[in-house]
Amino acid sequence: MNAFFVLLRKELKSIRKEKTIVFAILIQLFIASFSSMMLAGMMSFYDPTTISDNSPINLKVGVVGHTSSPIVHFIERENSLTVVRFGDIDSAQDAFQSSKIDVVMSIPQANAGIVDMDLFLPESDTQSTIALMALNDPLKEAENYLRRMNGIEMNYTDIEGKSHTSYEFLYSIIIPLLMFFPALIAGSIVIDTISEELEHKTLDTLWAAPVSLHQIFSSKIFAAILTAFVQCVLWIILLQWNAFPVENFLNVLALSVIIAATLACIAALIGLYFKDRERAQFVYSIALLLTAGLSYLLDPSPFNLITRLAMGNQNVGILEVSFYLIPFTIIGMVFVLIAKKLTSAKA
């Protein structure tokens, strides 16, 4: 056992020496920036009200025609929209051309309960997209109002909820990505360390020392798993600090470590089979795609499980996490059984 710890320390030292952990954190920091920007972007697209949260909007809406239409009232109720009424379309056009207003609405009288109106937007993609998104909410309210006038009542319009898009995006995409990314790196590290030993023929030297082949490989796998564990812990702390709480963090950590261990064992098998880094890394990348696909057939899949755990869903817990010990145990046993055979086999 002592030999195992000596080897583990050596592996960890080599990782630390190459400043790889620092780089891993840098990668993750960048993902954080990326995700936040995507969050803001998606929020703006899905929920027009968040446009004004991210950037102040003050849209001047020129209205001609039926200027006392209820549609105008719903627009007026929005803080970010200002209505300017015009007597005729030409003066509205003049105001638009001289940038006194941003958009022009021509609202006719309702005809048999239908309002067929025209909306003039600036040609610029930027301005027209923002204008349309900012106008969409009051226009939807106006639409519901017109429906009521037609005798149609929409149910459940008064549910008071928060914009769920960013919440779902964060917990079902970003957090699983962040928690499993260290696991992907763990697999890559295992391939690197194994192929380095095999290509530089240092494994033979190491084998001459009083250590078993399993101790050598398991120390490499353990070092990679420990690195993944440290990164996941850092991630949970960073997320917590950014007011994105990760519930059930012990279960979340346990699942991340089990996935990292499983991938590290798969990577070790691939590394030993191919014996050179080039092929091993390529096959490992494809194997990742395959594993991700296969895991999706499970219920709950690792992605879904980590999402629900991090969200605080009470229907999942340690039992579901423990289930993933089964594939890990199978792959781990396969590795123990055939590692020696693979090492001595020709590439």
Partner 1 sequence: MSNILTISKREITRLRSRFKGRSRLFVIGIFAVAVMLSFVIYHQDPVISKSIYNIGVSSNGPAIVDERFNIVPLDPVSGLVELGNKEIDLYIHGDQVISRNDDRSRYAAGALNQYLEKQELIRISHEYDIDQAFPLRIEIHHLAKDSETEQKSTDNQPSLSEILEPADEPTDSSSPFLVVTPGPEPPIITAPISPQTEPPEPIPNAPTPEVAPSIIPTESLSDSAVRERLEDFKNDNGRPEFKAEFAADDEIIIPSLLKPPIPVSQVMLAFFYVVPIFFVSIFFTSSFMEEKTNRKLIILMSAPITPFQIIVGKILPYVVYSILAIIIITLILGGNVFLALAIFIPIMLFIFSIYLMVALLYRTFKDQTFFSMMAVWIVTAFLVAPAMFTGVNDLSYISPLTLAVLMYRGESFDLTQYLLSTIPMYLAFIVTMFVATRIFNEEYLMGFRPLYRKLSEAIYLVMDKAHLNLSVLSMSLFLIPIAFMVQSASLVLAYNLSTNLSTITTLGIIFVICIITEEIVKSVAIIVLLQNRIITSLTSVIKLSFMAGLGFLIGEKLLLFLALRVMSESIFTEALFSSGVFLIFPLLMHFVTTSIVCLITARFGLRFYPLAILAGSVVHTLYNLYIIREAIF
Position 100 contacts partner 1 (CB under 8 A): no
Q: How far apart are CA 133 and CA 126, in angstroms?
A: 11
71-90: which residues touch partner 1 (CB under 8 A)? 71, 73-74, 76-77, 88-90
**35-64: which residues touch partner 1 (CB under 8 A)?**
36-38, 40-42, 44-46, 48, 64
- Give the footprint of partner 1 on residues 150-189 (CB under 8 A): 150-152, 154-157, 159-164, 167-168, 171-173, 176, 185, 188-189
Q: Which stretch binds partner 1 (CB under 8 A): 206-214, 259-267, 270-278, 322-330?
A: 270-278
> Per-residue b/e over 132-153, b at no fewer than 16 CB within 10 Å?
ebbbebbbebbeeebeeeeeee
Per CB under 8 A, the list member of 3, 4, 6, 31 interacting with partner 1 is: 31
- 21 in Cβ contact with 15 (< 8 Å): yes
3-state SS, residue 224: helix
* Segment lying near partner 1 (by CB under 8 A), choices 210-218, 250-258, 272-280, 326-334: 272-280
Cβ distance to partner 1 smaller for residue 16 or 212 = 16
Does the footprint of partner 1 cover residue 115 (CB under 8 A)? Answer: yes
Quick one: 42 or 213, whose CB is closer to partner 1? 42
Nearest approach, Cβ of 109 to partner 1 (angstroms)?
5
Of the pair 199, 212, the CB lying nearest partner 1 is at 199
User: Does 199 contact partner 1 by CB under 8 A?
Assistant: yes
Q: Which stretch binds partner 1 (CB under 8 A): 144-152, 211-219, 257-265, 325-333?
A: 144-152
**Radius of gyration (Cα) for the chain, nearest Å?**
30
Residues binding partner 1: number (CB under 8 A):
140
The phi and psi torsions of 25 (rounded to 5 degrees) equal: -65, -40
Q: Smallest distance from the beta carbon of 232 to partner 1, in angstroms?
A: 16
Only one of the segments 202-210, 299-307, 319-327, 330-338 lies at the binding site for partner 1 (rule: CB under 8 A); that segment is: 299-307
In Å, what is the CA distance from 262 to each residue of 130, 274, 324?
46, 19, 9
Contacts 24+ apart (CB under 8 A), 6-15: 7/211, 7/215, 7/216, 7/219, 7/220, 8/219, 8/222, 8/223, 8/226, 10/219, 11/193, 11/219, 11/220, 11/222, 11/223, 12/223, 12/226, 12/227, 14/193, 15/189, 15/223, 15/227
